[in-house]
């Protein structure tokens, strides 16, 4: 059976996360699988690079699926987009891949973006797509705090209590924080790169760094809570709507 990779863009707001729900609640995975079933009789089960939580968005999610027909990749993406209407899910690209390519297990890196907006007035156009705080943040302090998290560490402090990963030890390759103008305020963009992440790790990190930027924590406290290996020492877990899975990297880019 020919295997295809799909690059998927979606608004996570209407869904209970990426993964198909046993209770029949809406999920991104179910939306794509149902569109596939309209092209070829199902059922279809797709595998994704990352399982995003409820409310989390994707701009570069990658999934793999085995089909019966040898589809032209462009026609496959066009047909899926037709059947996905009017849901906020789009196939950006499709590619024929080797039988041993797997969206999750072949990935060597995942990339996330978190958008945080500081302004007094409520956000309008980006409602449901950013986390809003009222006051500007100290970007230099947040960068100093983030520096303690780069590299190989035990991230128990930043791990959800229901995380199913076998080990809390992970390597974060990069955390960059940029500040850009936003209508009536400022936007802070946090970009994180790692081979893999723990459940709620990114949201826990950003929530902690926000406390640093707000002046409630000193930057060195990030090192202290990391070394504590204690979930209760973590800063607040920020809400999901500012988080985006922006991409997954593979030894060979299937969409090149």
Outline which parts of the chain fall under CATH 3.30.70.580. Answer: 3-106
CA dihedral 103, 105, 109, 115 (to 10 degrees): 60
Determine contact, residues 160/207, Cβ cutoff 8 Å. no
How high is the pLDDT of residue 42? 79
Closest by CA position to 84, among listed 129, 44, 33, 19: 33
The rounded distance, in Å, linking the Cα atoms of 124 and 205 is 26
Q: Is 172 exposed, middle or buried (0-12, 13-18, 19+ CB in 10 A)?
A: buried
Outline which parts of the chain fall under CATH 3.30.70.660. Answer: 109-247
How high is the pLDDT of residue 22? 82
Give every CB contact of residue 114 below 8 A, 6+ residues apart in sequence.
Answer: 131, 189, 190, 192, 202, 203, 206, 238, 242, 243, 244
How high is the pLDDT of residue 89? 98
The answer to whether the pTM exceeds 0.85 is yes
Determine contact, residues 94/37, Cβ cutoff 8 Å. no
Q: Is 127 exposed, middle or buried (0-12, 13-18, 19+ CB in 10 A)?
A: exposed
How high is the pLDDT of residue 21? 87
Task: Give the CATH architecture of domain 3-106.
Answer: 2-Layer Sandwich (3.30)
Helix 28-39 and helix 73-84, axial crossing angle in degrees, nearest 10: 120
Q: Would you please indicate which residues are annotated as catalytic (active-site) residues?
A: 53
- CATH hierarchy code of domain 109-247: 3.30.70.660
List, run by run, the mean pLDDT of 10-residue segments along the chain (256 residues): 97 96 91 96 92 97 97 98 98 98 98 98 97 98 98 97 93 98 98 97 98 98 98 96 98 96
Closest by CA position to 58, among listed 82, 28, 38: 28
How high is the pLDDT of residue 239? 97
């Amino acid at each position: 059976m020919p295997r295809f990779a799909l690059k998927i863009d979606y608004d996570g707001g209407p869904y209970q996360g990426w993964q198909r729900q046993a209770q029949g609640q809406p999920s991104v995975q179910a939306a794509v699988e149902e569109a596939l079933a309209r092209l070829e009789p199902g059922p279809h089960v797709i595998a994704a690079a990352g399982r995003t939580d409820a409310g989390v968005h994707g701009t570069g999610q990658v999934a793999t699926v085995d089909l019966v027909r040898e589809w032209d990749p462009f026609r496959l993406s066009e047909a899926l987009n037709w059947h996905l209407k009017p849901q906020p899910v789009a196939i950006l690209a499709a590619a024929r891949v080797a039988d041993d390519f797997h969206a999750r297990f072949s990935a060597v890196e995942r990339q996330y973006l978190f958008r945080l907006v500081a302004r007094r007035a409520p956000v309008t156009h980006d409602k449901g797509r950013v986390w809003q705080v009222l006051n500007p943040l100290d970007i230099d302090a947040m960068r100093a705090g983030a520096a303690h998290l780069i590299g190989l560490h035990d991230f128990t402090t930043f791990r959800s209590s229901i995380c199913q990963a076998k080990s809390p030890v992970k390597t974060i390759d990069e955390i960059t924080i940029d500040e850009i103008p936003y209508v009536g305020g400022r936007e802070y963009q946090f970009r994180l790169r790692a081979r893999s992440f723990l459940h709620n790790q990114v949201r826990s990190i950003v929530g902690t760094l926000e406390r640093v930027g707000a002046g409630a924590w000193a930057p060195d406290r990030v090192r202290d809570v990391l070394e504590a290996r204690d979930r209760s020492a973590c800063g607040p877990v920020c809400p999901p709507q500012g988080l985006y899975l922006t991409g997954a990297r593979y030894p060979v880019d299937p969409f090149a």
